[in-house]
Amino acid sequence: MEPTDAPALSDDALARALPAPRRLVVVSNRLPFVARPAGRGWAFERTVGGLVTGIESFVRSGKGPPEVVWVGWPGRAVPASRAASLRSEARARHGLVPVLLPSEVAEGYYDGLCNRALWPLLHSEPTAVHLEEPWWDAYRTANEAFRDAVLGELRDGDLVWVHDFHLMTLPALLREVRPDVALAWFLHVPFPAYEILRVLPDAWTRALLEGVLGADVVGLHTHDYARHFLRAVRRVLGADAAAGRLDVAGRPVRVDAFPLGVDFARHDEAAQRPEVVAERARLQAAFGDARVVLSVDRLDPTKGILQRLAAYERLLERRPDLHGRVVLALVGVPSREDVDAYRRLRARVEETVGRVNGRFGRFGWVPVHAQMRAVGPDELAALYLVADVALVTPLRDGMNLVAKEFLATRHDGEGVLVLSDTAGAARELGEALLVNPYHPAGVADALERALGTAPEARRAASEPMRERLRRYDAARWGSEQVEAVAAVRQEGRRLEARFATTADLSAIVARSSAARRRVLLLDYDGTLVPLVESPRAAAPDAALRGLLRGLAAVPDTTVVVVSGRDATTLSTWLGDLPVELVAEHGAQRRPVGGAWTDLASRDTAWHASVRPVLDVFADRLPGALVEAKTFGLAWHHRAADPELGPLRARELVETLEGLRLPPHLRVARGRDLVEVRPAAVTKAAALPALDDPTGTFLLAVGDDATDEDLFAALPPQGLAIRVGTADSRAALHVRDVGDVRRLLARLVAAGAAEGVP
C-alpha cells in the first residue's frame, strides 16, 4: 500500500459525475428491533442505543437513497423451525433482514469478543479486556454469516453501509467477492491510541484493520479517532495516508471524521407535541419545585454512572442548603445483561442509589429518582424539558447522543450541559461545562456552577452549540458519507483508468515482436522485486533470474537493469546474467560480462564530512542504517519505527541542507531513505545510443521518482510504464511487481514463439 499522491478532484465535482445509489443496505449487529416470539408470530421491541438512533434519524430525513433495507442480528437465537416466519415478518413489517447466528457463535462473537474484548479495548480500558481464541473464531464466523446475508440481498447500484466494531472484517469479506461494491464502514465507538490497541494479538489487529480497509470510506466520529486509526494502519500495515487517503492495492480509501448528529428539527419541536406537554406536566408535578439534574444512559461501565453518583453525593455533602431543593433523575436502561460486568454494574447502581437516598433522603424528598428501564420518546423529551442540568459524564464515549438530544430539545436554550471531556461530543460542544468524569469533586464543582448559572448565561452557552447541531445533524452525517463513497469510487475509476488493460499489454507485446530490436530498461527494487525491510534482503529469486535470462535470449534484445544499488551488489546478484547493469542511478555502467565504467566523476572527498552525520542519525534510530556506495551515501530507515523514520528523515534532510554541501551534490528523499549523491547523475544516463531508433522497441519500467528522470529522457517512440498509481510521465501504469513480471514473461514467450525476429 502506498500513499495516493494523485491530486484528488473536489468531492463535489466527482460526486456529480456518478449516479446516486438506488438503495441503501444498512448492516449492523443490532437491528432497530429485538424479535421476541409471540404466540405463533413475533413481537418486535425497539432497541436502545446511539447506532440505531443515528441510522434511523438519517433514514427518516429522506436525504439518503430512496430505498433502505437493514441487515442485522435479531438479538437472540432463533430455532430453525421458526426462522422462516421471522424472516418473512421482519421483512414485511420493518424491511429487516435478520442474520441468524447459532447461540454458541453469538455468545463467542457478541458476549465474548465484542463485549468483553473489543468494547473495553476501544474504550481504552485494557485491564477489562479478555482474550479467548474461540471468541475470535466466532467473530470471524459471524462476520462470514453477515457476508452471506448481504450477498444474498445485494443488487447492482446498492450502497452497503456497514456499522461498528462488531463487523470490522466484513468490508474486506464483501470486497473479496464483489470487488466493485460501493461500501462505507462507520465506527460508533472511539478508536483508541495505538499503545492501547497493542493489547490485541497482532494477527487479530491486522485482520481487523485489513477488514475495515475493504470499504471505500472509513468513518469515525472525531478527527482524533481518525488520526488514531491512520496511525494504527501505518504501524501495523505499514501504509501511509496522504490527506486522509490510503492506497489499498491501487484502490483509494478515504478515512475521515463524520460526527454523528441528531434529528435536530424533531427534538427542537418536541415541546409542542401534546403527548410531551402532558408528560412534562406530570413530571413537573412529581418533582415539584426541586431543581432537576438528569442522567440518562444504557447501564454500561463506560458511562461512568457510579462516578456520577459519587459526584452527586459529594454535592449533597457540601451543600446542605440544596437538600430538598434538588433531585437527580436517573434513567438507566439495562444493557448486555449476559455479561457479568454489566449485571454487576446494575446491582451496584441500585445499591448506591439506595444508599444515597437512605443517607440524605427525608419524608417528602427523595434525592435520587432512579428507573432501570427504557423510556419512550415522549417521556424522554419531557425529561429533557424539565431538567435544569443534564449530567452526561461517560468515562469514555464515541460520541454521546444524549448530550446532543438534550440541547436540541431545549429550544429555550436554558438547559445546562455538564459533559465529559472524554466524550466525542465534547469536540463539538465546547461551550458546555466540560469535566473529568473520574474526579467526583471536579464534577461536583461543575454541578454547583451549573445550578447557579443565570438564564442569560445558559442561553449564551447553549445557542452556538444548538446552531452547530442544527447544521451538522444526522441527515448531514449520513449524506456526507454517501457522497464520500461516490467521490472515492470516482477517484478509483480515474486511477483504474491509468492501469494498462489487457489490450494495452497485448499491444506492447505485439510492438515488441514486430520491432527489429528491443531495449528494455528495468529498475530493480519495487519493479523487479518487491520492497523489503532490509536492502540486503532483496536478492533476485530464481524466477526473476530465469526471466531476465529469457528476455536476454530473445534475439536482438538488450536488457539493462537500471538501479540505485551500488556496482558491487549488482555484480554479485546479477553479474553472471547476460544483462547490462547501471548502478547508483546512472553513475556507473557495465556491459554484459564486461567491466564497470564510471559515467560521473569519482569524487568522494565529501563522504568524510557527510558520513558522520548519517551515522549519528542511524545511531539514534534503531533499524536505520547507512549504505556507502562508490559515489553516493544512503541512509535507510525502512526497518525502523514507521513513525519515527520519516520524522528523522526530515530532520536529516534539514541538517544536511544546513551543512551547505558543495553545489555538485544533491540531497534526495527516496522511499524510506535519504540519499546524497552527485547532482549530475540521473538514470537518464542509462539510455543507450540507438543505431536504429525507428526499428527499436524501447521500454522503460520503474516505480519511483528516480525513474522519472529516465522516462523524461526517452525519445518519442519509447514507452514508459510506472508501477503504482503515483502521478508520472509514464503513459501506462501497472499495479505491482507481479504485473511487471507477467508482462516480461509474455515478452519472453512471444520472442520464443515467434522466433523473433
Q: Which residues pair with 217 in a beta bridge?
A: 184, 254
Minimum CB distance to ligand ADP, residue 294 (Å): 11
Catalytic site residue 240? no
Minimum CB distance to ligand F6P, residue 633 (Å): 52
Separation of alpha carbons 418 and 438, rounded Å: 14
Separation of alpha carbons 266 and 262, rounded Å: 9
**Helices 737-753 and 542-553 meet at what angle, rounded to 10?**
40
The contact pattern for ligand F6P, residues 159-188, with x = CB under 6 A and - = no contact, is -----x-----------------------x
Cβ proximity to ligand ADP: between 118 and 559 the closer is: 118
Minimum CB distance to ligand F6P, residue 28 (Å): 6
Residue 336 interacting entry, from ligand F6P, ligand ADP, none, C-beta within 5 to 8 Å by type: ligand F6P
Q: Is 118 in the site for ligand F6P (CB under 6 A)?
A: no
b/e map of 642-670 (b: 16 or more CB within 10 Å)? beebbebbeebbebbeeeebeeebebbeb
The contact pattern for ligand F6P, residues 267-306, with x = CB under 6 A and - = no contact, is -------------------------------x--------
Minimum CB distance to ligand F6P, residue 698 (Å): 58
The contact pattern for ligand ADP, residues 9-48, with x = CB under 6 A and - = no contact, is ---------------------------------------x
Separation of alpha carbons 58 and 658, rounded Å: 55
Q: Is 380 in the site for ligand ADP (CB under 6 A)?
A: yes
What does residue 666 show for φ and ψ, rounded to 5 degrees? -130, 135
Residue 400 interacting entry, from ligand F6P, ligand ADP, none, C-beta within 5 to 8 Å by type: ligand ADP
Whole-Å CA distances, 544 to 87, 494, 701, 720, 738: 55, 31, 15, 20, 11
Q: Is 189 in the site for ligand F6P (CB under 6 A)?
A: yes
CB of 302 closer than 8 Å to CB of 125: yes
Q: Is 199 in the site for ligand ADP (CB under 6 A)?
A: no
Instruction: List the one residue out of 281, 392, 408, 414 whose CA is nearest residue 330.
Output: 392
* Planar angle of CA 60, 63, 67, nearest 5 degrees: 70
The contact pattern for ligand ADP, residues 86-125, with x = CB under 6 A and - = no contact, is ----------------------------------------
Site size for ligand F6P (CB under 6 A):
12
| CB closest to ligand ADP, residue no | 50
Between strands 597-598 and 245-248, the pairing is: unpaired
Instruction: Find the binder of ligand F6P among 302, 335, 513, 588 (CB under 6 A).
Output: 335
Residue 331 interacting entry, from ligand F6P, ligand ADP, none, C-beta within 5 to 8 Å by type: ligand ADP
Separation of alpha carbons 86 and 89, rounded Å: 5
Cell 454487576 locates to 344
Residue 757, preceding bond cis, omega within 30 degrees?
yes
Separation of alpha carbons 252 and 54, rounded Å: 27
Instruction: List the one residue out of 496, 491, 485 whose CA is nearest residue 159.
Output: 485
CB of 300 closer than 8 Å to CB of 349: no
All three cell numbers of 506, joined, read: 497485448
All three cell numbers of 354, joined, read: 439506595
Minimum CB distance to ligand ADP, residue 203 (Å): 29
Contact window for ligand ADP (CB under 6 A) among 115-123, 208-216, 294-302, 515-523: 294-302
Q: Is 49 in the site for ligand ADP (CB under 6 A)?
A: yes
Separation of alpha carbons 339 and 111, rounded Å: 6
Residue 375 interacting entry, from ligand ADP, ligand F6P, none, C-beta within 5 to 8 Å by type: ligand ADP
Q: Is 400 in the site for ligand F6P (CB under 6 A)?
A: no
Contact window for ligand ADP (CB under 6 A) among 49-57, 222-230, 534-542, 718-726: 49-57
Name the CA dihedral angle for 588, 591, 594, 599, rounded to a multiple of 10 degrees: -20
Marked catalytic residue, from 473, 523, 703, 704 = 523
Contact window for ligand F6P (CB under 6 A) among 47-55, 261-269, 307-315, 484-492: 47-55
Q: What 3-state class would DSSP assign to 58?
A: helix
Instruction: Find the binder of ligand F6P among 52, 353, 567, 744 (CB under 6 A).
Output: 52
Tell the burial category of 501 from Cβ atoms under 10 Å away from its Cβ (0-12, 13-18, 19+). Answer: exposed
Q: Is 30 in the site for ligand F6P (CB under 6 A)?
A: yes
What is the total residue count of the chain?
757
The contact pattern for ligand ADP, residues 312-341, with x = CB under 6 A and - = no contact, is -------------------x-x--------
Contact window for ligand F6P (CB under 6 A) among 43-51, 324-332, 369-377, 679-687: 43-51
Q: Is 50 in the site for ligand ADP (CB under 6 A)?
A: yes
Cβ proximity to ligand ADP: between 187 and 241 the closer is: 187
Instruction: List the one residue out of 526, 551, 521 whose CA is nearest residue 538.
Output: 526
Instruction: Find the binder of ligand ADP among 129, 193, 375, 653 (CB under 6 A).
Output: 375
Residue 164 interacting entry, from ligand ADP, ligand F6P, none, C-beta within 5 to 8 Å by type: ligand F6P
Q: Is 334 in the site for ligand F6P (CB under 6 A)?
A: no
Q: Within 10 A of 34 (CB to CB), how many other CB atoms are there?
A: 16
| CB closest to ligand F6P, residue no | 49
Q: Which residues pair with 291 in a beta bridge?
A: 326
How many helices, marked H, and strands, marked E, lie in the chain? 26, 29
Instruction: Find the binder of ligand ADP among 123, 298, 489, 637 (CB under 6 A).
Output: 298
Separation of alpha carbons 330 and 318, rounded Å: 21
The CB-side HSE value for 553 (13 A sphere, CA atoms) comes to: 14
Point out which residues bind ligand ADP (CB under 6 A): 48-51, 53, 296-298, 331, 333, 374-375, 380, 399-402, 405
Residues with a catalytic annotation lie at 523
Point out which residues bind ligand F6P (CB under 6 A): 30, 49-52, 164, 188-189, 298, 335-336, 398
